[in-house]
Chains A and B, each alone.
Chain A
Amino acid sequence: MKRVALLGMPNTGKSTLFNRMTGGAARVGNWPGITVELLSGKILFGGDMVELIDLPGIYDIHGFSEDEQVVRHFLHGNVPDLALIVLNATQIERQLSLLLQLKQYNLNMVVLLNMADEAKKFGITIDTKKMSAALGIPIFLLSAKYGNGYQEALQAVTKALRYNTPGMAEELRSQLEQEVHIESEMARVLQHAVQVPARLPDNLTTQLDHLMLHPWLGLPIFFGIMYLLFQGIFFFGQPLQIGVGDLFNWLREVAFAPLVASLPALLQGLLLDGIYNGVATVAAFAPIIVLFFLFMAIVEDTGYLSRAAFLMDALMARLGLDGRSFVMLLMGFGCNVPALMGTRVMRSRPLRLLSMLVIPFSLCSARLQVFVFIAAALFAPRAAALVVFSLYLFSFAAAILTALIFKRHFPNSEPFVLELPPYRFPTLRQMVLRGWHEVYHFIHRASKFIIIGVVFVWLLTHLPTSAVPAGPDTWAGHIGAWLKPLFEPIGITAELTIALIFGFVAKEIVIGSLAVIYGLSGQALSGALALQLDWVQAYSFMLFTLIYTPCLSTIATLRSESKNNGFMLLSLGWSLALAWVVSFVFYQGARALGY
C-alpha cells in the first residue's frame, strides 16, 4: 500500500485536513503541538488504497524537540511515496523555510497552502503558478475548514502518486544545514510571488485580544469564562441527566424486570441490581460528558487556550512551570491521559516531570460525574453548583501546592516561546465530530471497565449468600472493617470505602458501585446517601476522591511517559498521602467547629 505523509508546522490545520480526508474523528485543537501520536487512516485515491499518516507539527526539520525527532525518524524509516506539505497561507513568509528544507530531501511532494480564506481576509495574495514554477513543486490554495480547493488538491495528489519514489540520499543531513542557501532562496521566491501589506489591518483578533488579554481585566475574564462554562454544564446537563435516569428506571420496570423474572433470585439480583442499576446510573452521565467536551472544544478550538497560557505564565513561572503546563492542566479537566501525553512538547525533562506530577490533580470529567451526583444529593441546587466550583479551586490548590513543594527537585531553565494563533470559530462539523468522539470513548470505557467493576462490587457486597446484602458480614463489609482505622478519622463510611477502592480503577465506576452497594439507582440512591451522610462527610469524601490517584490509565500513562517506575510511585504515594491529609484536616476541622 502506498504511503502519504502529512507534514507541516503546528497550527496549519493539518489535523482538520486529515479529518476531512479520512472522514474520521481525529482530535482537532487550535494549540501548537497537539498531535502527539501518529494518527493514520486508509483512503481511496484514484482507485488505489493509500495510507495517510498525520505527522506531528514541526517548526524546523533540524530542530531538537521530541516532535521534530519523531518526524525525522519517521521519514528515515518509512520513506513516504508522497509528502503532503501543509502550510498556513497567512504565514507563508516564514513557513516557506520548512518547505525549502524538506525540498532538499528529494521527496515526492505536493504543497497545500491552507487557510486560504483567512489569507484573503488579510489581503495576502499568492500566485501559486509563479510560486510553483519557482520551486518546481505542485502548489494549491485550499481551505481545509470549508473545503474550498479540496477537489483540485485531491486530483493533484492522485497524479503525483503515480510517480515512483525517488528515494532518499544518505548525506542529506549535512546538505540541509545550508541555512544561507535557504534564506536567499526564500527571499527570491517571496519577492516574486507574495505580497503582504506592510501593516496588518486591525482585525477581530486584535480587538478581542485587547479585551481578553487586558492587563487588569484579562485574569478576571478568564476565571469568569471558566465559571460560566461549568455553570452551563450543570444548568443544561442536570435536567437531561435526570431525564435519562428516569427513562432507564421506566425501561427496567416495563421490560427488564419481567424478562428476568423466571431466573433464580441470586442471578436476578446480579442482573438487575448489579449490572442494570450500575450501567444505568453511569449512562445517565452521557449528556454531561457531551456538554463538557462540547464546551471544552469551543474553548480549545477558538485559540483561547494559548491566551490562558499568556495570562497565567507569570504565576506558573514562580511555581517552576510555564504557560504550557497550565494549558495541559486545563486539558486535564477533560481527561488526564491526553494532558500527560501533551507534555511531550516540553524539551526539558525536569519541567516535563514536574508538569506530569501536577496534572493528575486536574478535576477530570470522570471525577466531575461523582461530584455532580453527590453534590446534587446532599446540597440545594444553588449550593451544589458552588460546591462543585469549590472543588475546582481545591484542584488548582493541590496542583499549586505540589509544584511549590517539588519545584526545587525538578529545576529547569526551559525558554518559554510560543506562537499565538488568531481566534477561530470552530465549525459545527468540528464540534459534532469532537463531541461524538468523546462520547464514543466514554461508552467504550463504560462497556469495558464499568460492567466488570459493578459485577465485582455486586459479588463483594452479596457474598456469602448467608449475609445481609451490603451488611457487615459480606466480603465488602470485611474489607471496610479492615480499612476502618484509616478511613474513620476522615469521615468516610465502609460503603464509601468500597466505592473508593473501585474508583482506583476508574472514577466512572464510583457512582455505579454505590448504586450496587445500596441496591438503588438514580433519585433513590441520592435519597439514601442524603439520609446516611451529612454534608461534612460527603465533602470529605469528595476531597479524597478529587486528590487520590485519578485512575489506572493515568498511572499507566505516567509510567509509559516518564519511563521511570520511581516517578510513577512518587506520584501515586504523594497523591494518596495528600488526599488523606487534606480530608483529615477538613473533616476534623469542620467537626471541631461544631458542624
Chain B
Amino acid sequence: MQTIISSEILTSLVPGESAIIVAIQTDDALRQRLLALGFRVGKRVELIRKASFSGPLQVRIGTTDILLRRNEAAKIAVEKS
C-alpha cells in the first residue's frame, strides 16, 4: 500500500514546527529572491513565530532567519516529516 503524502502550505505550520519544502509556486522575480535567501525544494524550514494581527512569519532555513508575509508563505508548499 502506498503512503499518502499530505502536502501543506508554510502558513499552516505552528511555531516550533519544521517541514521540508516541496514546491515554490511564485512568479520568477520572487522565486529568484527566495532562492537567494536559501529557499530550495528539499530544504528544511522551521517556523519560528507569527506576528500578531495577521502580520508576517519568521522562518529559519539553516542559519538564516527570514521574515515573509503570509501571502508569500502561502505560495510555498511543505511536507511535515
A residues near B (Cβ < 8 Å) are 59-60, 62-64, 90-91, 93-94, 97-98, 122, 124, 179, 183, 196, 200, 209, 213, 215-216, 218-219, 306, 309-311, 313-315, 317, 322-323, 347, 415-422
A418 touching B62, Cβ below 8 Å: no
Report, nearest first, the 10 A-B pairs whose CB atoms are least far apart: A314-B55, A59-B36, A314-B53, A420-B65, A60-B36, A94-B38, A418-B67, A215-B52, A417-B68, A416-B69
When the two chains form their complex, are residues A415 and B30 in contact, meaning their CB atoms are under 8 A apart?
yes
Q: Give a binary string over B5-37; 1 marks a CB under 8 Å from any A CB, 0 the rest.
A: 000000000000000000000100110111111
**A417: which of B34, B50, B53 is its contact (CB, 8 Å)?**
B34
Chain A proximity of B14: nearest CB distance (Å): 13
Known: A314-B54, A415-B71. A91 touches B63 (CB 8 A): yes
Report Cα–Cα, A91/B49, bound state, in Å: 21
Q: Which residues of A contact B71 (CB under 8 A)?
A: 415
Tell me the smallest distance from the CB of B45 to a CB of chain A, in Å.
Answer: 13
Nearest A residue to B72 by beta-carbon distance?
A415
Chain A positions within 8 Å of B58 at CB level = 209, 213, 310, 420
Contact call B38/A416, Cβ cutoff below 8 A: no
A325 to B6, CA, bound (A): 38
Given contacts A417-B68, A417-B69, 13 further A-B contacts (CB under 8 A): A60-B33, A93-B62, A209-B48, A218-B52, A310-B67, A314-B55, A317-B55, A415-B69, A415-B72, A416-B69, A417-B30, A417-B67, A420-B65
| Nearest CB of chain A from residue B71's CB, rounded to whole Å | 7
**CB-CB under 8 A for A60 and B35, given A310-B51, A347-B29:** yes
Residues in A whose Cβ lies below 8 Å from that of B55: 310-311, 313-314, 317
B30: nearest chain-A partner, CB-CB: A415
Given contact pairs A213-B49, A310-B56, A313-B51, A91 touches B62 in the complex (Cβ within 8 A)? yes
Is A420 a contact partner of B66 (Cβ separation < 8 A)? yes
Q: Is B81 an interface residue (CB 8 A)?
A: no
CA distance A346 to B62 in the complex (A): 26
Q: Are A419 and B65 in contact (CB under 8 A)?
A: yes
B52 touches A419 (CB 8 A): no
A196: chain B residues at CB < 8 Å are 62-63
List chain A residues, Cβ under 8 A from B61.
94
C-alpha spacing A582/B18, complex, angstroms? 50
- Describe B's contact surface by its main secondary structure: mixed
- Residues of A close to B37: CB separation below 8 A: 59, 94, 417, 419
B64 at the interface (CB under 8 A from A): yes
Contact A419 B72 (CB under 8 A): no
Which residues of B lie under 8 Å from residue A94 when comparing CB positions? 36-38, 61-62, 64
> Which residues of chain A have C-beta atoms less than 8 A from B72's C-beta?
415-417
B69 to chain A, nearest CB (A): 5
Known: A213-B58, A310-B51, A313-B56. A60 touches B32 (CB 8 A): yes
Residue of B32, B34, B67 ringed by the most chain A CB atoms within 10 A: B67
Contacts of A309 in B (CB 8 A): 67
B residues within 8 A CB of A216?
52
- Chain B residues positioned under 8 Å from A323 (CB to CB): 56, 67
Are B64 and A91 closer than 8 Å at their CB atoms? yes
B64 touches A418 (CB 8 A): no
CA distance A347 to B30 in the complex (A): 11
A93 touching B63 by the CB < 8 A rule? yes
Residues on B with beta carbons closer than 8 Å to the beta carbon of A179: 35
Give B residues with C-beta under 8 Å from A: 26, 29-30, 32-38, 40, 48-56, 58, 60-69, 71-72
Complex formed: what's the CA distance from A309 to B55 in Å? Answer: 10
Closest to A179 in B: B35
Closest to A119 in B: B63
Asked if B30 and A315 sit within 8 Å, CB to CB, the answer is: no
Please, which residue of chain B has its CB at the minimum distance from the CB of A118?
Answer: B63
Distance, CA A122 to CA B54, complexed state (A): 32
A316 to B, closest residue via Cβ: B55
Q: What's the minimum C-beta distance from A194 to chain B, rounded to whole angstroms?
A: 11
Chain B contacts of A97 at CB under 8 A? 36
For B30, B61, B64, which residue has the most chain A Cβ atoms within 10 angstroms? B64
Q: Which residues of B contact A93 (CB under 8 A)?
A: 38, 62-63
Contacts of B54 in A (CB 8 A): 314
Find chain A residues with CB under 8 A from B52 CB. Answer: 215-216, 218-219, 314
Q: Do A417 and B62 touch across chains, with their CB atoms under 8 A apart? A: no
Chain B residues with CB below 8 A from A91, complex form: 62-64
Q: Which residues of A contact B62 (CB under 8 A)?
A: 91, 93-94, 196
List, in ascending order, chain A residues with CB within 8 A of B30's CB: 415, 417
List the A residue with the shortest CB-CB distance to B59. A420
Question: Separation in Å of the B38 CB from the closest CB of chain A?
Answer: 4
- Contact among A62, A98, A200, A310 for B63, CB-based, below 8 A: A200
A36 to B69, CA, bound (A): 25
Alpha-carbon separation in the docked complex, A418 to B36 (Å): 11
**Given A313-B51, A417-B72, A59 and B33 touching (CB < 8 A)?**
yes
Contacts of A314 in B (CB 8 A): 51-56
Residue of A nearest to B33 (CB): A417
How many Å lie between the Cα of A209 and that of B32 in the bound state? 28
Give CA–CA (A206, B79) in the complex, Å: 25
Q: How far is the CB of B65 from chain A (nearest CB, A)?
A: 4
Please name all residues of chain B whose beta carbon is closer than 8 Å to the beta carbon of A416 when the two chains form the complex: 56, 67-69, 72
Among A94, A322, A416, find the residue whose CB has the most chain B CB atoms closer than 10 A: A94
Contact at B33–A63, with CB atoms within 8 Å?
yes
Rounded to whole angstroms, the CA-CA distance of A213 and B49 in the bound complex is 9
Task: Name the B residues within 8 Å of A421 (CB-CB).
Answer: 65
Interface centre among A59, A183, A347, A417 (most CB of B within 10 A): A417
Query: A122 near B63 (CB under 8 angstroms)?
Result: yes
Complexed CA–CA distance, A420 and B71 (Å): 18
Contact partners of A310 in chain B: CB under 8 A? 51, 55-56, 58, 67
**A352 CB, min distance to chain B CBs, angstroms:** 15
Q: Beyond A196-B63, A415-B68, A415-B69, is A62–B32 a contact (Cβ under 8 Å)?
A: yes
